Amino acid sequence: MSPDFSGVWKTHLQRSKLLGSQPTAVLAKIKQSEEELAAEMVITKADGCENSLVFKGRTSGEQITNVVQGVEMRSRLQWVDNELLIESWVNVAGRQGHFLDYRSFSNDGQTLIMEHRGDDLAGQITFLQKMH
């Protein structure tokens, strides 16, 4: 049985390694069923402005399309052992981006880990603690 990432999660910013401008808070709301995942991430910037990113898809590996902040993103979600791999492609201003976002639990199951490996954000790792 696959891990269930459902819940409300708050990013532990001090432990995480985020590339680009640093937010003051990141909150993730995840709903997951047997074959679907829906996530909303609310990112609070240093100036207090919030960005909301909504993403959903089936975890069976077929390609889906989401519009994230007005930009079309093609993605494929599939399980690789106990990790959920979200592979995405996006074209912004003529530049093609490729992302490999691996999601898993820490050994104690208390922390959700989102890690980019071998992609345009390689080295970024986010640690999230469950709120409820």
Domains, in order of start, for the chain: 7-130 (2.40.128.20)
pLDDT band of residue 74 (cuts 50, 70, 90) is very high
Task: Pull the structure tokens for residue 57.
Answer: 């898809």
pLDDT digits (tens, 9 = 90+) for 51-67: 998 889 999 999 989 88
CA dist list (Å): 103 to 2, 6, 96, 97: 12, 12, 23, 19
- What is the reported pLDDT for 94? 87
Give the number of other CB atoms < 10 A from CB of residue 64.
14
3 state DSSP class of 102: strand
Q: Is the pLDDT of residue 69 over 80?
A: no
d(CA 128, CA 16) in angstroms, rounded, equals 9
Q: What is the mean pLDDT of residues 1-8?
A: 91
d(CA 44, CA 25) in angstroms, rounded, equals 5
